[in-house]
Amino acid sequence: MNEVARRAGVGIATLYRRFPTRDDLITATFAGTMKAYADAIDEAVRDIDPWRGFCLYIERVCAMQARDHGFTHVLTMTFPTAKAFEADRNRAYDAFVELIAAAKGTGRLRDDFCPQDLVLVLMANAGVVSGAGDSSPDAWRRIVAYLLQSFSAVHAEPLPPAPTPKAILRAMVDQAGHGRTTGCR
């Protein structure tokens, strides 16, 4: 926080008045991006082809991660005290659950795909974005294409069980570096 205040040219007291915690600063910084993330799912749900909407949503969210490395980590973290931020995340989650059901209804999304798989996709994409860095900035596109193909119901082989929602939440909390919990699904 001291470094942020210094770079912003304000005193630490001023920074703490505006952002009492590190989480307040992070969520304020990424509020617009989180809203764009939530808006992306609304657009995907409106697509007349749910499978196409599903694929385009996964690609769009992964592209957002690739463009904004800070948001890469924020997507896999939880901020229970940031009500508006988490409301956008929850709105996106609920719409994604709806999109999953619609895409499965077309017979094109494998039956065992579940909402927790999105968090795994985001964690995998974050790893590729980070690992490939500036030397291969579009490497994420390949892993996302592989993942989308694996989500297809065509020739789908059984998978190991998905992590439970509780396990995914623990992973998100661990990513954030905090020992907190949330009422997240």
Mean pLDDT for the chain overall = 85
Tell me, yes or no, whether 63 lies in a domain.
Answer: yes
Q: Give start and end residues of each alpha helix (H) in the chain.
A: 2-8, 12-18, 22-46, 50-67, 69-74, 83-105, 116-132, 139-151, 165-176
Residue 170 maps to which CATH number? 1.10.357
Q: For residue 1, is it within any domain?
A: no
103 falls in which pLDDT band (50, 70, 90)?
Answer: very high
Pair 143, 169: CB distance under 8 Å:
no
- 2 belongs to a structural domain: no
Backbone angles phi, psi at 18, to 5 degrees: -80, -40
Note whether residue 14 is domain-resident: no
Q: What is the pTM of this model?
A: 0.77
Q: Poorest-confidence range of 54-68, 71-85, 153-167?
A: 71-85
Q: How confident is the model at residue 157 (pLDDT cuts 50, 70, 90)?
A: confident
11 belongs to a structural domain: no
Q: Which sign does the torsion angle of CA 167, 169, 171, 177 carry?
A: negative
Mean pLDDT of 86-92: 87
In a domain, 76, yes or no: yes
- Tell me the average pLDDT across 13-39: 83
179: pLDDT strictly greater than 50: no
Domain with 105 in it = 29-176
Structurally, how many domains does the chain consist of? 1
Domain membership flag for residue 184: no
Residue 66 falls inside a structural domain: yes
Q: Per residue in 40-59, pLDDT tens?
A: 999 999 999 999 999 999 99
